[in-house]
Amino acid sequence: MKVKFNYFAGIDISKKTFDVTVFLSEDQKESFKKFDNNLRGCEKFIKWLTKLDVELDLLLICMENTGIYHRLLASYLASTNIFTWVENASQIKWSIGIQRGKNDKVDSKRIMTYAKRNHDSAKAYEEKSKDLQQVADLLAVRKRIIDCIKILKVPVKELSAAGLKDQARIVEKTTRKSITTLEKEKLNVEDTIKKIITKNEILNEIYTYVTSVKNVGFVAASHLLVYTNGFTKFQSAKQIAAYSGIAPYEFSSGTSVRGRTRVHHMANKRLKTILHMCAISSVGNNEEMKIYFDRKVGEGKNKMLVLNAIRNKILARVFSCVKNKRMYEPYFA
């Protein structure tokens, strides 16, 4: 059942503040105000809405997903039972057409206009559980640690490739201790994530189903848990495939344009990369997938196309196991 909204608010969020434009009625001008992006600012925002005589149960609030800066406000609004819509920033940007110039006030009005026009497709914000949010934050820390290790290793590889062996050894010796420490910290972060998942009965059950699929390990399973919000965010494997950028789309028009089927560039690139690594591992270690890969390549199929098909196969199996609450069982014809 769709909720009927009489009021619409667009919020542009930055690190320290958030700007709000509220649509009150057709015969009134929009109201605008800026607030601090903290708990006190959230409380002042609600008081301001009350002064404007906004009926909170008939209000739709829309904001962009900004990573971490929207989390406090979205969580606070959700706790007050105000319908809060956290939308993808690209979705808002491309839906409002060509725009010239921007500032925080203008952006909040554009978000409000987007919410007013598209309120039929609004989705209420679903906050991740405390444990799942901790897993998400720790995975972000893990990625930063891995990036730091790569940064420290790059000069050694470049110097070696340039034939400067002595310089490469000096740099390697200098950074060795830092790299060792970072690698230990990465393992500590991974252990903490595993403990959080294990202690949470629901997450642990889903994690067990996901990792029962061959070549889907800790990294892939934990990221899938986060990006699918415990497999509640999507209704099918195809939706997750589209989100992660591995769903193929037709490219044709009329009788003259007949492009090859391809994936779309707008995607969760992190999840796409992780699923790609699962596919590569599967080709190397899973006899079933290796036979499939060799057969399709032998038929003249592009290798990347076949790997993408394997990514979709793996994702479909994972989703099926979770939804049916059963461990994966290989089927041999």
Question: Cα(160)–Cα(172) distance, rounded to whole angstroms?
Answer: 10
| Lookup result for tokens 């209000």 | 59
- The SS3 call for residue 76 is helix
Q: Which amino acid would we find at residue 198? A: T
For the stretch 231-260, pLDDT in tens is: 998 899 999 999 888 887 666 666 565 556
Question: Cα(221)–Cα(210) distance, rounded to whole angstroms?
Answer: 6
- The SS3 call for residue 83 is strand
For the stretch 262-319, pLDDT in tens is: 666 666 889 999 999 999 999 998 888 999 999 999 999 989 989 999 999 999 999 9
Nearest to 291 by CA among 299, 276, 213, 304: 299
Question: Cα(104)–Cα(97) distance, rounded to whole angstroms?
Answer: 18
Helix axes 303-324, 237-244, angle to 10 degrees: 140
Rounded to two decimals, the pTM is: 0.84
Question: Cα(20)–Cα(108) distance, rounded to whole angstroms?
Answer: 6
- Boundaries of every domain in the chain: 7-121, 130-199, 201-333
Question: What are the start-end ranges of the E strands in the chain?
Answer: 7-13, 17-23, 31-36, 59-64, 83-87, 249-253, 257-262
- Is residue 97 a contact partner of residue 122, using CB atoms and an 8 Å limit? no
Mean pLDDT of the chain: 89
Question: Cα(204)–Cα(210) distance, rounded to whole angstroms?
Answer: 10
For the stretch 192-212, pLDDT in tens is: 999 999 999 999 999 999 999
- Is residue 275 a contact partner of residue 315, using CB atoms and an 8 Å limit? yes
- Is residue 3 a contact partner of residue 11, using CB atoms and an 8 Å limit? no
- State residue 30's pLDDT score: 84
Question: Cα(333)–Cα(321) distance, rounded to whole angstroms?
Answer: 20
For the chain, report the end-to-end CA distance as a whole number of angstroms: 45
For the stretch 69-99, pLDDT in tens is: 999 999 999 889 999 999 888 787 877 766 7
CA-based radius of gyration for the chain: 24
- State residue 330's pLDDT score: 78
| Lookup result for tokens 């591995």 | 246
Assign domain 7-121 one CATH number from 1.20.1070.10, 3.20.20.70, 3.40.50.2300, 3.30.420.40. 3.30.420.40
Contacts of 210 (CB under 8 A, 6+ apart): 216, 220, 221, 224, 225, 318, 321, 322
For the stretch 147-191, pLDDT in tens is: 999 999 999 999 898 889 899 999 999 999 999 999 999 999 999
Is the pLDDT at 123 greater than 60? The verdict is yes
Question: Tokens standing for 211?
Answer: 């990792």
